[in-house]
Amino acid sequence: MSATRGSELAEGLLEPGLYQGDPFPLYRALRAEAPVAWCASKGFWAVTTHREVSAISVDPQRFRSGAGILVEEIGHSYDSPPTMMHTDPPAHTRYRRLVQPSFKPTAVRSLDEPIRAMAHRLVGALPSDEPVDVVEVLSVPYPLQVICELLGTDPDRWPTFFEWSEAVIPGTLDLTEEERGRIQLEMWEHLIDLATRRRAEPLDDVVSQLATATIDGEELSEAELAMFLIQLLVAGNETTRNLISGGLVALSEHPEQLERLIDDRSLIPTAVEELLRWTAPVVSFMRTATTDTELAGVHISDGDPVLMVYAAANRDPLVFGDSAEQLDVGRDPNPHLSLGFGTHFCLGAPLARLEAKIILEELLERFTSITPSGPVTRSPSSIIAGVSRAPLVLR
């Protein structure tokens, strides 16, 4: 296949409306014809196969995060990293150790009761036998209320936290840069004020842990605190929200899979993994080559950005077989890449899995049918596989 054809396919990733429709035919073509393809207009390599995306993920020496993780960041630089995802070892390792205790499986399991209470309340308020937008009434408030619990702040503030989170993700809101900057500054000021108060009077929460933490005897700077707290707010709700929204849409479109869950609740953990694979809430992240190297026989130059398209890798038939394009709630093993891989494997993965497991359990306690009730509206963002509206009927 010619380099020209590969470049044409890679340019397709930038097509307006692609992510509001069905990008998977393009992903299939890229995997089959140009698994590592150059996008000339933006200057990055698009990588769409599971093997190559995994190889990039586990090799921070060859592919670094510090030069940016989004296509929009190509050519930009930061005085300090905006998120922990923008760091590399050894700094990343030190930062991760600070927050790791709050997200260990044992620590997350202790949140089961308050999370279940939130889920029970939200599911109990859902109407039966009539259309409802599950994004608005369930998948948006649920993870945001959990984040409020983690931050030790008022859960009724979740609508403000939602606006802040959306303003951070390029392409999710139709805002001017000035408006986006104003909202982000408001978020920064609130989170830093919260951390300052916790530093003075610590509580038993993750903000206090960060506010009182030290690295080499020094407290975290304001920029470092903001880096942690903004990532906790954004990553802690975006992935779970779109997993739930996209997952419920998927189950409504595949009633035989929902029936399997109704008949056998023991499939819920594997269903969570399959819905993560299927929805791929994070579409892609970028790394930058630190040396001349190769991927799938293609030469990559030192300094070249490479875009790991998780959504494409998650349906690679070389890993997931002939059923790669089929939803299977019993799929096991399921080495999807929706929560990252390697150094930057999602710190909040245990929490996201617990939230998804609990919401499925609560829904299946009350409903035995989920059917579509109108068109699903998806976000134009090339970063987050967002669902902004999903009308469904639950019975």
β-pairing, 44-47 vs 305-309, is parallel
User: Tell me, what DSSP letter sits at residue 84?
Assistant: G
Over residues 15-26, the mean pLDDT reads 96
- pTM of the full structure: 0.94
| 8 Å CB contact between 82 and 227 | yes
pLDDT, residue 64, reads: 97
What is the distance in angstroms between the CA of the first residue and the CA of the last residue of the chain?
A: 50
Burial call 289-309: b when 16+ CB within 10 Å, e when fewer: bbeebebeebebeeebbbbbb
Q: Nearest to residue 172, comparing CAs of 85, 72, 74?
A: 72
| 8 Å CB contact between 187 and 157 | no
β-pairing, 63-64 vs 370-372, is unpaired
Q: Residue 18 contacts by C-beta under 8 Å, 6 or more apart in sequence?
A: 12, 26, 382
pLDDT, residue 98, reads: 86
For residue 36, CA distances in Å to 32, 39, 49, 53, 74 come to 10, 10, 8, 10, 18
Residue 171 pLDDT > 70 = no
Over residues 32-52, the mean pLDDT reads 97
CATH of the domain at 253: 1.10.630.10
Q: Which of 188-197, 227-236, 254-263, 302-311 has the lowest mean pLDDT?
A: 227-236
Mind giving me the DSSP string for 161-194? Answer: HHHHHHHHSTTSS---HHHHHHHHHHHHHHHHHH
Over residues 78-89, the mean pLDDT reads 90
CB atoms within 10 A of CB 116: 17
Q: Nearest to residue 73, comparing CAs of 383, 387, 385?
A: 383
Structure tokens at 255: 């009633």
pLDDT, residue 172, reads: 67
Over residues 23-42, the mean pLDDT reads 98
| 8 Å CB contact between 373 and 391 | yes
Look over the chain and give the mean of its residue pLDDT values, rounded to a whole number.
94
Distance CA 283, CA 170 (A): 13
Residue 315 pLDDT > 80 = yes
Residue 3 pLDDT > 80 = no
Highest mean pLDDT among 75-89, 166-180, 271-285: 271-285
Residue 1 pLDDT > 70 = no
pLDDT, residue 2, reads: 63
pLDDT, residue 63, reads: 98
SS (H, E, C) 95-138: HHHHHHHHHCHHHHHCCHHHHHHHHHHHHHCCCCCCEEEHHHHH
Torsion of CA 6, 319, 242, 206, to 10 degrees: -110
| 8 Å CB contact between 69 and 285 | yes
Distance CA 52, CA 66 (A): 20
pLDDT, residue 42, reads: 97
Residue 26 pLDDT > 60 = yes
pLDDT, tens digit, 9 for 90 and up, residues 92-128: 999 998 888 888 888 888 899 999 999 999 999 999 9
Phi-psi region of 305 (alpha: psi -120 to 50; beta: other; left: phi over 0): beta
Q: How confident is the model at residue 206 (pLDDT cuts 50, 70, 90)?
A: confident
User: Tell me, what DSSP letter sits at residue 102?
Assistant: G
Residue type, 380: P
Q: For residue 49, what are the domain limits?
A: 3-394
User: Tell me, what DSSP letter sits at residue 140?
Assistant: T
Residue 349 pLDDT > 90 = yes
Total structural domains in the chain? 1
Q: Nearest to residue 307, comparing CAs of 33, 22, 39, 12?
A: 39
pLDDT, tens digit, 9 for 90 and up, residues 53-81: 999 999 999 999 999 999 999 988 888 88
Q: Residue 203 contacts by C-beta under 8 Å, 6 or more apart in sequence?
A: 152
Distance CA 142, CA 127 (A): 16
| 8 Å CB contact between 289 and 303 | yes
Distance CA 226, CA 241 (A): 22
Structure tokens at 199: 């530093």
The DSSP bridge partners found for residue 305 are: 288
| 8 Å CB contact between 45 and 38 | yes
Share of the chain above pLDDT 90, in %: 78
User: Tell me, what DSSP letter sits at residue 309?
Assistant: E
Over residues 338-358, the mean pLDDT reads 94
